Chains A and B, each alone.
Chain A
Amino acid sequence: MRTLLHRLAAGAVVVFPSAAIAQEAMYTAAATMPSPGTGVVRPQLSYFRYGTNPLDPSEEHTDVVEAMTTVAWGLDRGLALFVDVPVAFERESTPGDDRWDKGVEDIDAMLKWRFYKHDSGGIDTVRAALLGGAKIASGDDSDFSSQSVNPHIGAVLTIVKGRHGFNQDLIYTWNTGGMALSNLGGDGPDDALAIDSAYVFRVWPEQFTSDSIGAWYVTAEVNNLYETNGDFESRWAPGLMYEGRKVSFELMAQFPLYHDLQERPELDFSVGVGVRVSF
């Protein structure tokens, strides 16, 4: 069984060319980070399908393929820099016509400062961190970039007890630009509050041994986004993650739980794969 799991993991790493900020689910931050002088690169490829845009009902649905690369670098003890570069391919389907476009979305630069850590056992820990940064205009056109600098602050709590992990984040973004028509969630002209919860369960091994070099986790997340125009969306995200010592990979999906959206399209679903490599 163990050999099979290792082979599956190794195979997946080959198929998905790249892996890890430890114990972190896919859409929810964690109070973990690379140590000083070390880094993590985390490419993720996701497909999103959205429904009709209420601001332009001729857009029956929108498909987005997003290639997001996150690079994290440990600056000091408990302090790390995270940079996200998202490249998107977008198709807007209207009756009798499909419009394809591609571009670079706002680049996110963020500092994560862990201000609390209590390691109560060999495995068990409680950590809390503050997040601060900005989404910066990429220079691309307004279909993708907000043409502005949008600061954000937040906090994240991580609890690990045995096989169970829990992450809770809360991030507020002041949007100083952006267009309502191209908003797919949090990147329009209105401010946005993201509240994400993640449960991470180690399915294998049940207990680490001296030979343990990797672990399989299932994740379940609830991702909430409130925008100051009154739009609110709640998504449910199941995931599967293999974490090795240097390389990890993740499979994820997102589905709508609840939405009350007047100014942007609803998410039908999304799926994605990601890899994390520490260096």
Chain B
Amino acid sequence: MRTISRSLVLVAFVFTSAGLVACSAGQAAKSKAMEENAVVHHVSESDLEFTHSKQALEGTSATLWVNGLGCPQCASNIDQQLKRTRGVTGIRTDLGTGKVYLTLNGTSNPSPFTLSERTLDAGFTLVKVEQP
């Protein structure tokens, strides 16, 4: 019985490993295209400096460029933290672009610094705050 189960395990291991290798090999061909499409936020020094500004944002919307949003659960984490931020009335997280779109109430808007702190609380890094 044990010999049979060990043989089955070995066969399963070999097939799974082969599957993963084949999968990786298949992906390797696409890797260049994927790298070109990878979510890379190109930001300037002044963009990074602005994320430390303690002056309240103006207007009723802002877009956050966030690094580290690697999974659906990550989107939930950042949503939960930003939801608690005064002045934020709506949140939509786009994993495809690594951006978080905020709707602000326009009267008690948060500062980029506050948004950066909330983003760090969620476990991610704010690299740019964009406003229309």
Binding site for B on A (CB under 8 A): 20-23, 32-38, 51, 77-78, 114, 117, 119-125, 160, 162-163, 165, 199, 201, 203, 206-215, 218, 220, 236, 238, 243-246, 248, 255-257, 268-269, 278
> If A22-B77, A120-B67 touch, does A201 touch B23 (CB 8 Å cutoff)?
yes
Q: Is the CB of B73 within 8 A of A278?
A: yes
Binding site for A on B (CB under 8 A): 2, 5-6, 9, 12-13, 16-17, 20, 23-24, 27, 30, 34, 37-41, 66-77, 79-81, 84, 94-98, 120-125
Q: What are some 25 contacts across the A-B interface (CB < 8 A)? A: A20-B73, A22-B74, A35-B80, A78-B123, A119-B124, A120-B67, A121-B98, A122-B40, A122-B67, A122-B68, A122-B69, A123-B39, A123-B69, A125-B70, A160-B70, A163-B27, A201-B24, A212-B95, A213-B72, A220-B20, A238-B12, A238-B16, A243-B71, A246-B76, A255-B13
Whole-angstrom distance between the alpha carbons of A218 and B16 in the complex? 10
- Residues of B near A236 (CB, < 8 A) are 9, 13
Minimal Cβ-Cβ distance residue in B for A125: B68
* Chain A proximity of B10: nearest CB distance (Å): 9
Total cross-chain contacts (CB, 8 A): 138
Whole-angstrom distance between the alpha carbons of A269 and B2 in the complex? 10
Minimal Cβ-Cβ distance residue in B for A236: B13
- Residues of B near A114 (CB, < 8 A) are 123
* Chain B proximity of A271: nearest CB distance (Å): 12
Q: Is the CB of B13 within 8 A of A245?
A: no
Q: Is the CB of A77 within 8 A of B121?
A: yes
Minimal Cβ-Cβ distance residue in A for B122: A35
> If A123-B69, A255-B13 touch, does A209 touch B96 (CB 8 Å cutoff)?
yes
Q: Is the CB of B41 within 8 A of A210?
A: no
Whole-angstrom distance between the alpha carbons of A77 and B121 in the complex? 5
Whole-angstrom distance between the alpha carbons of A124 and B96 in the complex? 13
- Residues of A near B75 (CB, < 8 A) are 245
Whole-angstrom distance between the alpha carbons of A121 and B77 in the complex? 17
Residue from the list A120, A215, A268, A278 in contact with B76, Cβ < 8 A: A278
- Residues of A near B74 (CB, < 8 A) are 22
Residue from the list A21, A36, A121, A256 in contact with B39, Cβ < 8 A: A121
Q: Is the CB of A243 within 8 A of B73?
A: yes
Q: Is the CB of B96 within 8 A of A77?
A: no
Q: Is the CB of B97 within 8 A of A210?
A: yes
Whole-angstrom distance between the alpha carbons of A163 and B26 in the complex? 13
Q: Is the CB of A124 within 8 A of B70?
A: yes
Whole-angstrom distance between the alpha carbons of A135 and B41 in the complex? 43
Minimal Cβ-Cβ distance residue in B for A163: B27
> If A35-B77, A51-B2 touch, does A207 touch B96 (CB 8 Å cutoff)?
yes
- Residues of B near A34 (CB, < 8 A) are 77
